[in-house]
Chains A and B, each alone.
Chain A
Amino acid sequence: MRYAMAIDTKKCVGCSDCVVACQTENDVPIGYCRDWVVEVMDGTYPQLELEIRSERCNHCENSPCVRCCPTGASHYNEGGIVLVEKNKCIGCSACITSCPYDARFVHPEGYVDKCTFCLHRVKKGMQPSCVAVCPTKCMYFGDLDDPRSDVSMVLKKRKWKTLIPEAGTKPHLYFLI
């Protein structure tokens, strides 16, 4: 089982609903976020292009954060989801430095925090809260090893890219373009 998420940049309007829904679902304190929105604009008026992406931890198959964690707090969990065990985390921030996607932050309580793909929901057969809330339905979540999962189907049908592929992290966050 390999959990992954695909985000349709053609549909995302950048409303940041995913950010608020994650904050309330996961008790992320105000001022911090596990997911965020990036807008990339290209061109000169009036020949313009805009790409809008909802970003979060890439849950990489080859995660620098897991590799560099001195205590084993950062680890692969069910379906390849990268998690931080907060009791083991000493807040050294080595993982934060190693992550090419800037997906981690130090929680005010001292441990490092990040997206969990809402594993607690996924275990109950629910979608991650960002996927469930998105008004544009631009996010697809599921198991890459299941050819009939939402994410596998949409990746077959559409053109996609990953972020910073040259880092060799094998990210599990895909962007439909």
Chain B
Amino acid sequence: MNSRRQFLKISSLSAAGLIFGGGLLDAFANNLVKTNPSHFKGPFDFTRTPTYCEVCFWKCAGWVYKDENGRIKKIIGNNDDPNCNGRFCPRGTGGVGMYNDEDRLKTPLIRTEERGKQTFREATWDEAFEYIAQKLKKVKSEHGAEAITLFSHGSGGKYFGNLLKAMGSNNITAPSYAQCRGPREVAFISTFGQGINSPENTDIRDTKCLVLIGAHIGENMHNGQVQEMSDAIDKGATIITVDPRFSTAASKSKFWLPIKPATDMALLLTWMNVIINEKLYDKEYVERHCYGFDQLKEHVQQYTPEWAYGVTTLKPQQIRETARAMANAAPAVIVHPGRHVTWYGDDTQRLRAVAILNALLGSWGRRGGYYNPDKAHVPHYKLPDFPKPNKSWRDALGGKYNLADLALASGLCDASMPSHELGHKIKAWIVNGTNLINTLPNQAKTIEAIQALDLIAVVDTMPMEITGYADVVLPECTYLERYDSLRVSQGREPSVALRMPAVEPQYNTKPAYWMARELAKKLDLLDYFPFETLEEEIDWELQQIGSSLEEMQKIGVKRMPREEDDLYFTEGENVEFGTNTGKIELYSTALAEEGFEPMPVYTQHPEPQEGFYRLIYGRAPMHTFSRTANNPNLTDLMDENTLWVNPKVAKEWGLKNDQYVYLENQDGIISDFSIKVRVTERIRFDSVYMVHGFGHTDKRMKRCFGKGVSDTQLISNVMTDPIMGGTGMRGNFVTFRFDNKKEA
């Protein structure tokens, strides 16, 4: 049996297994659809218009209200939306600031000098498209279409992705995989044959015990999870938080384990040891569903609580007590998979340990543990076949990271480097809605890759740093001024949500769909964009599921019944899991055959040198990465990040609250700007903490320019996950500086 192929087949199934459609309606293929869009109502025909939020990836559905002058006044949640239950988070509520931001990109720009200098001239849309089309044609003829890559985080990615596939490239990538949740997906696929995806299928609402490892729900404002954690608190659930920082979640927890950073794996393995040796695991569940229990039992004998004390600094009694608390609550227990998990390079293995722990506790497929998500089946219009690329994004990886189930943004950036010698060179980037300068670790490398490109075109609403490196900048209108494809997200019950414009686009901005289609015209690829406008395509799709654009404009969200009553496993049910063995793999056959450890092992990670502190970064509830950094409503709540410093450390360095310091990392990189010190007991003495997404260097963003420090700038040491290529970013250490002058 070729286990890798099997594994990949399964993984692609799990990533896309719930999406049906396509191929259904061949009769329409290759015809441009001709309908008259004028029968659709426009934004001014409504007092409130439906949308789903674009400030983060949770995509909550809501209503946009306008004042008597037709200006957007407020955005509130849609009561029928399972992602938000009628309650938006601060970023969604403040989404109106994205529309009102006077620093927005306002018209297409074409570079006049070298990249990074931010010297542009204003251009017409036609000039901008002509420029891009000519360059793309040149790259395609010289290097093949496979030399073109799309980096995307946001709704527009779908349309540009379509364009890329039509040209003959499958290099479509998002930093949300290799820089964020990728290891978790690979770990859960290899254990349960199914990934976590988004929104997470954690049944927090009904859990009796929630275990958070570095996950700071409440500071990361993943709306549905925050709401459900609050419900769980109401119902008296036990929360266990493992974090070197006293996070908001830690303050809500019965047990806070102030772990030494980079030792989480030791704790997870020790918890397994206790749960197995004290016979606290779900014997019936493990016997029925799991593969490799005996190997695991033997494997974890070495990881005793007394051993873990020396590694994690957590007391053996604390480790035993929390293991028992989890077992008491089982199967209504969630050892949470987290979201941003690219920390130390052994992240897939750490998340494997999380998955295994859940399996031992019998929480996968159980109420209060992990439910089985469902998704609406919305057919897509049949497009002509895409040309088959001669090289795929995998070829850029040189045979490594075979278990990655999505393209690696970092891998495609590496393949753009002048030094890249794998024969699959990337020469053109289209970047949609992701500020790669602040998203990919090792900025110097990202910039070197960009400088070697033949073309970089950036689509954004704001003059983010990445636009400063663009040859052409395409200003997108905000989500409040455009249609986008239907939101079809997974959940306890399937739902579909509509985004339509509440107002006409301000300035000379346009929706991404229109841009991609105009480019398709220039590239003779219009067959792949059969609908003239997105609302026609949306209406067509909605008609297939018995709804219509007209109906959705009135209700915003349509909930649909589950096709099967399979939210949880039933008592005594035999389940076929999508792994090689058809079982939950405590011992991973797929990892073993790829030459990796079949069961997670503890490895020691580098520690800070004298005078240096581990740089830990995280989220604030009112910001989404750098996307919101200049939003007038949200900068009003938080306009700079601060550096959390333990009082002992502050004393040693003579640091006072509110004092500004520069930071220097282990590679001698000094922060562009200084950061305000926050002396607090809430952080360990061996670490400092800051919120990600600040320290912006583009002066066109007036509210956030020079405010705070960019953690990304200081992340030059990347610990790469050998299994799937994730970029571990928590192995960077900083020290304080009182000026930013380079030493001679």
Contacts and interface: CB of A to CB of B under 8 A. Distances in A.
Contacts of A147: none
Contact of B682 (A11, A31, A41): A41
Contact of A133 (B76, B246, B248): B76
A30 B89 CA distance: 18
Interface stretch (A45-53, A56-64, A88-96, A161-169): A45-53
A108 to B, nearest CB: 14
Contact of A136 (B75, B94, B227): B227
Interface string B76-91: 1100000010111110
Given A30-B636, A45-B684, A133 B230 contact: no
B89 A17 contact: yes
Nearest to A36: B637
Interface in B225-283: 226-227, 229-231, 233-234, 246, 248, 251-252, 256, 258
Given A24-B96, A136-B226, A19 B646 contact: no
A10 B633 contact: no
B297 interface: no
A15 B94 contact: no
Contact of A24 (B93, B219, B226, B622): B93
B78 to A, nearest CB: 13
Contacts of A11: 230, 233-234, 252
Residue of A16, A43, A132 with highest tally of chain B CB at under 10 A: A16
Interface in B174-201: none
A50 B234 CA distance: 18
Contact of A48 (B75, B84, B86, B251): B251
Contacts of B622: 15-16, 20
Contacts, number: 117
B636 A31 contact: yes
Contacts of B96: 24
A46 B258 contact: yes
Interface in B513-527: none
Contacts of B230: 11, 13, 135-138
A145 interface: no
Interface in B661-713: 680-685
Interface in A21-47: 21, 23-25, 27, 30-31, 33, 41, 43-46
Contacts of B233: 10-11
Interface in B32-84: 73-77, 84
B230 to A, nearest CB: 4
Contacts of A41: 680-682
B248 A20 contact: no
A23 B248 contact: no
A138 B218 CA distance: 13
Contacts of A134: 87
Given A44-B681, A46-B256, A133-B87, A13 B74 contact: no
A14 interface: yes
B729 to A, nearest CB: 24
B621 A137 contact: no
A41 B246 CA distance: 10
Nearest to B635: A30
Given A41-B682, A43-B681, A136-B230, A52 B632 contact: no
A135 B74 contact: no
B649 to A, nearest CB: 11
Contacts of A23: 633, 636
Range of interface residues on B (Cβ < 8 Å): 35 or more
A105 B339 CA distance: 40
A10 B681 contact: no
B164 interface: no
Given A19-B637, A20-B637, A48-B682, A13 B246 contact: no
Quick one: which of A16, A19, A45, A135 has the most chain B CB within 10 A? Answer: A135
A47 B457 CA distance: 51
Contacts of B234: 11
B359 interface: no
A31 to B, nearest CB: 6
B248 A50 contact: yes
A132 B79 CA distance: 11
B640 to A, nearest CB: 15
Interface residues of A, number: 33
Among B75, B223, B682, B685, chain A packs the most CB atoms within 10 A around the CB of: B682
Contacts of B512: none
A135 B86 CA distance: 9
A136 to B, nearest CB: 4
Interface in A126-141: 132-138
A13 B226 contact: yes
B682 A15 contact: no
Nearest to A51: B251
B221 interface: yes
A133 B89 CA distance: 8
A136 B256 CA distance: 21
A160 to B, nearest CB: 16
Nearest to B219: A13
Contact of B74 (A24, A43, A136): A24
Contact of B221 (A46, A135, A138): A135
A135 B89 contact: yes
A11 B73 CA distance: 28
Nearest to B249: A13
Contacts of A30: 632-633, 636
Contacts of A50: 246, 248, 251, 682
Interface in B622-666: 622, 632-634, 636-637, 646
Contacts of A44: 681
B227 A16 contact: no
B251 A21 contact: no
A24 B73 contact: yes
Which of B93, B226, B634 has the most A CB atoms < 10 Å from its CB?
A: B93
A49 B253 CA distance: 10
A48 B744 CA distance: 44
Contacts of B256: 46, 48
Contacts of A25: 74
Contacts of A20: 90, 93-94, 622, 633-634, 637
Contacts of B94: 20, 24
B280 to A, nearest CB: 26
A167 to B, nearest CB: 28
Contacts of B258: 45-46
B75 to A, nearest CB: 8
Contacts of A21: 74, 76, 88, 93
A17 B84 CA distance: 13
Interface of A: 10-11, 13-17, 19-21, 23-25, 27, 30-31, 33, 41, 43-46, 48-50, 52, 132-138
Given A137-B230, A137-B231, 14 more contacts: A11-B234, A13-B230, A13-B621, A15-B226, A16-B637, A17-B93, A20-B622, A41-B681, A45-B246, A46-B246, A46-B258, A135-B226, A135-B227, A135-B230
8 contacts: A13-B621, A15-B221, A16-B621, A16-B622, A24-B96, A27-B73, A48-B246, A48-B256
3 closest A-B pairs (Cβ-Cβ)? A13-B218, A15-B621, A50-B251
